[in-house]
Structure 1
Amino acid sequence: MVNAAAADLCRFVDASPSPFHAVQTAAAELDAAGFQRVEETAAWPAGGRYYLQRGGSLIAWATAEGAPAHAGFRVVGAHTDSPNLRVKQHHEVRFDGMGVVALEPYGGPILESWLDRDLALAGRLVLKGGREVLVHTEEPVVRVPHLAIHLDRGGSELDRQRHLNGIWSLGEQNLLASIAERAGVPGDDVLGFELMTADAAPSALFGPQDEFVAAPRLDNQATCFAGLRAFLDAGESAGPHHTMLVLFDHEEVGSTSERGAQSDLLATTIERIVLAAGGSRDDYHRAIAASVCASGDMAHATHPNYADKHEPLHRITMGGGPVLKVNQNLRYATDARGTAIFAQACDEAGVPLQRYVHRADLPCGSTIGPLSAARTGMLTADVGAPQLAMHAARETMASADIELYARALAAFLAPLG
């Protein structure tokens, strides 16, 4: 029995092999829902439903009718990027007649999961004159072969520089020219590119009742999908607050870019919305003080084969609903106030809530939450949905959790009280 939300998630992920495609996919849904795209270089109208794109990032908002200029925002945040292998600038290598493409890791992928896998290439090309073209080969074009066990009885560790290059041809073809041809543009017109590997196999549901989703990029496109669904389901806010969805790029590499969570994207957008409504700089600060962000990023489900790697008092179950993440050293932004707000949203949505705490003797990862909170001064709670194999080329989550996650986020955006 197919879970409709899980099937929709699979379609979203398959259409979004890069952050640029994820933004394109989200923008298409916003367009269909009647949102209007605005440009940062243009003046913005007051009120309404709008979105803007900044590279692999997107921010959308719906203003509350009749709300004062200092009205707060309910914000759902996520990130569009995922760990993968990316094409180096000088990438053409010839080895014994084979065309080899030089790749390097982006973020912290589980490297072994990318070997001996059918890989497509996706990303963007920037052409003469500044025009941008998105490209996705869809079919496999690159493969990173493992070393046969007969030649490596000791099972040596993968070297990130030497062992991750992919084979792609026999002959003298040029990879970038081949990609440009697929995109329908002359190879000589390509002046810049950002290309990355993507699992060429489609996402899938498995289990006797399709209980599980197996897909690439669940971290964090599952949150992009759930957040977008929640944002659209919340509709135009009836007040007293506005609603907003922000999808940042570059979380996996620290968020320090013009479109990452440490950029001015969120703060500047809110300020411009306030000013367009006739508000002042003081109204902007009042709006920030009245705002709350649910920073969404996937969470570690308790692994059946490695239960000892998890905090024993905070087991996270697949299919058990959304997760609130707390860390005493502020690797997550959640405090008691944020906890109460998201717990109430889950209660109003009729959704169970799980609470995640990392083992104290293991380093804890972080999210966009603390970075965005520090950049804006906005109250923030870190939330997520359970998954296994985070940062693998293909990851797993429970089908039921995507619907529960979206319902909780929708209730957060449009609370009853």
Structure 2
Amino acid sequence: MEEKKNLWSSYDEAAKKELHEINEKYKACLDAGKTERECVKLAVEMAKEAGYQDIKDVLKEGKSLKAGDKVYAVCMEKMLAMFRMGEEPLSNGMNILGAHIDSPRIDVKQNPLYESEGMAYLDTHYYGGIKKYQWVTGPMALHGVVAKKDGSVEEISIGEKESDPVFVITDLLVHLAANQMSKKASEVIEGEKLDLLIGNSPLDKAEGLDEEEKETIKANVLHILKENYGIEEEDFASAELEIVPAGKARDCGFDRSMILSYGQDDRVCAFTSLFAMLDVENAKRTGCCLLVDKEEIGSVGATGMHSRFFENTVAELVALTEGESELKVRRALANSRMLSSDVSAAYDPMFAEAFEKRSAAFFTKGLAFNKFTGSRGKSGSNDANAEYLARLRKVMDDAGVTYQFAELGKVDVGGGGTIAYIMANYGMEVIDSGVAVLSMHAPYEVSSKADVYEAVKGYRAFLLNM
């Protein structure tokens, strides 16, 4: 097979201009969407600007849907499905771009606030597969919501503005770490030691300190929370607070050819899918952009891909276009074609021993297709049909999209899963496709701007021509 050249040498000025615009928009989305809730909120705002209407409003008004109509549905503020109705009946199937918007992070527990030796902490539980030692000593931000008994919901984002405080998870100084340094990497930092340092000064008597109060540092934190956000300690029980790296997405490299940011697995595929969905008009088949939660922990729960949310939404669309029919819903799903838009591991010369070079994804080689994922014998994998791959190759070639085929590391080294196998349960054609990323699941991940650009081009081509 002919080796693909570095993409940067193939772009003319017009392409470079579009590439720059897409990547600037992508960086802005990464900054605005550091949690699944924030991603959904941002995507809905962008969808509304593009003329999409909430399906709840369509149902309430008793409208029907026709070709060209644009609707979206939200599940619990953490899962989103967008549809642009095509010229063909929905039962003929859809072209679906599906990505996940949750990323590895650290979550605050439900009884988290405590004081120890003059310091206040939040107790935590990490989310998804992480190297725990990577998450210490860096500046952290706190994002999420606190739901109160009166029905109000307080949105929290602390640590992103220059005027905000940041938080930190501490580590043992190297001078005292001889025993720690002899441990396995998985044990250097224990999960229960990933607690967030949030305070060190006591509540002043002038601010209402009870003279019998012993935990004065904790009392001061509670005073600040009450004063600024109206939050009581008991409200943590109904809160969803996520600890993520503070700071913005940044250009990486002297040549500014890459992006360094938190959460690019899998938001690099989620936002490029969203961009493509908002760009495409007048497609024959119904197009869909599906952004889901909980992939990093098995796609479980009401907002994960294993839920019935997507199927139920498709049933509503069938009823609005072709009349209620369970059989037509099944046909719509079985006749669909999907790109499970998820990242691939980029070949890293620093860790070449983990990759089989002929089957690795590389920076600047375009959209990465993974025929199969899984681990050690393709366990838990979707394995796409050859005929589907052939059709995809033609669509991408006809659209001038640069792409590559890859797998996630050497056969016996590891592997990973996506939402592909879940959607394949409906009988639809599915393959994983996405952007190659360095340092996946780390607090900061790296992507190539050229690959981000090719992803948008590839997703557009898929929506229009599959």
TM-score normalised by structure 1 residue count: 0.92
> After the TM superposition, which residues 63-142 of structure 1 pair with which residues of structure 2 at under 5 Å, given as runs?
63-65=85-87, 67-137=88-158, 138=160, 139-142=164-167
Q: Secondary structure at the match of 1:39?
A: helix
2:62 equivalent to 1:14:
no
Post-superposition Cα deviations, 1:186-241, rounded to whole Å, max 9, x if no partner, equal 54794611101111121100223310100000001111110000101112x431x1
Deviates more, 1:257-266 or 1:311-320: 311-320
Q: Tell me the distance in 2 between the aligned counterparts of 1:181 and 1:224.
A: 37
- Tell me whether 1:368 sits opposite 2:413 in the alignment: no
Q: Cα distance 1:140–1:381, how it changes in 2: closer, same or farther (>3 A)?
A: farther
Percent identity between the two aligned chains: 25
Query: Matched residues in 2 for 1:407 and 1:400: separation?
Result: 11
Q: Specify the alignment match of 1:58 in structure 2.
A: 80
Do the aligned partners of 2:382 and 2:424 also contact (CA within 8 Å) in 1?
no
1:252 CA drift (Å): 0.4
Output the amino acid matched with 2:346.
A
2:255 is paired with a residue whose SS is coil
How many angstroms does 1:181 deviate by?
5.4
One-letter amino acid of the structure 1 residue matched with residue 188 of structure 2: L
Pair member with larger Rg: 2
CA separation of 1:86/1:179 partners in 2, compared to 1, >3 Å: closer, same or farther?
farther
CA contact (8 A) 1:121 1:198 kept: yes
Deviation at 1:151, TM superposition (A): 1.3
Alignment: residue pair count: 411
Q: Is the 8 A contact 2:260 2:445 kept in 1?
A: yes
| Aligned mates of 1:177, 1:293 — CA distance in 2 | 50
- Tell me if 1:148 matches 2:173: yes
Structure 1: which amino acid aligns with 2:358? Answer: L
Deviation at 1:278, TM superposition (A): 2.9
Instruction: Determine the C-alpha separation between the residues in 2 that align with 1:164 and 1:19.
Output: 22
**1:362-404 per-position Cα deviation (integer Å, ceiling 9, x unaligned):** 2311001112222x33221111111100000000011111111
Alpha-carbon offset, residue 315 of structure 1:
2.7
Tell me how far apart the structure 2 counterparts of residues 342 and 49 of structure 1 sit (CA, whole Å).
25
**2:4 aligned partner:** none
Q: Matched residues in 2 for 1:364 and 1:153: separation?
A: 33
Alignment check: 8 A CA contact 2:225 2:231 kept? no
Amino acid in structure 2 at the alignment position of 1:100? Y
Matched, 1:46 2:46: no
CA distance in 1, matches of 2:136, 2:169: 5
Question: Does the CA contact (< 8 Å) of 1:345 and 1:409 recur in 2?
Answer: no
Paired with 1:86 and 1:180, the residues of 2 have a C-alpha distance of 21
Describe how 1:12-411 pairs up with structure 2 within 5 A.
Answer: 12-39=29-56, 43=60, 45-47=63-65, 48-55=69-76, 56-65=78-87, 67-137=88-158, 138=160, 139-154=164-179, 155=181, 156=183, 157-170=187-200, 171=202, 172-173=217-218, 178=224, 182=228, 184-187=229-232, 190=235, 192-235=238-281, 237-239=282-284, 241-279=285-323, 280-327=325-372, 328-329=378-379, 331-358=381-408, 359-374=410-425, 376-411=426-461
Aligned letter for 2:113?
E
- 1:324–1:339 Cα contact (<8 Å) kept: no
Letter in 1 for 2:421: P
- Structure 2 gaps, min length 5: 1-15, 203-216, 373-377
Once the 2 structures are TM-superposed, how far is the Cα of residue 285 of structure 1 from its aligned partner?
2.1
- State how far apart, in whole Å, the 2-side matches of 1:69 and 1:202 are: 40
Q: Which has the higher helix share?
A: 2
Corresponding residue SS for 1:313: helix
Equivalent position amino acid for 2:96 in 1? V
RMSD: 2.3
Q: Please, which moves more after superposition, 344-353 or 23-32?
A: 344-353
Shift of 1:266: 1.7
Query: How far apart are the structure 2 equivalents of 1:330 and 1:321?
Result: 26
Tell whether the 8 Å contact from 2:115 to 2:218 is kept in structure 1 after alignment: no
Contact kept, 8 Å, 2:107 with 2:127, in 1: the verdict is yes
Matched residues in 2 for 1:15 and 1:181: separation? 26
Letter in 2 for 1:109: I
User: Cα deviations across residues 92-129 of structure 1 (Å, max 9, x unaligned)?
Assistant: 12111110111111011222221111101001222224
Q: Distance in 2 between matches of 1:30 and 1:373?
A: 27
Change (3 A) 1:373 1:310: same
In 2, the alpha carbon distance for the partners of 1:361 and 1:189 equals 47
Distance in 2 between the 1:312 and 1:413 partners?
31
Q: 1:188 to 1:34 in 2, by over 3 A?
A: farther
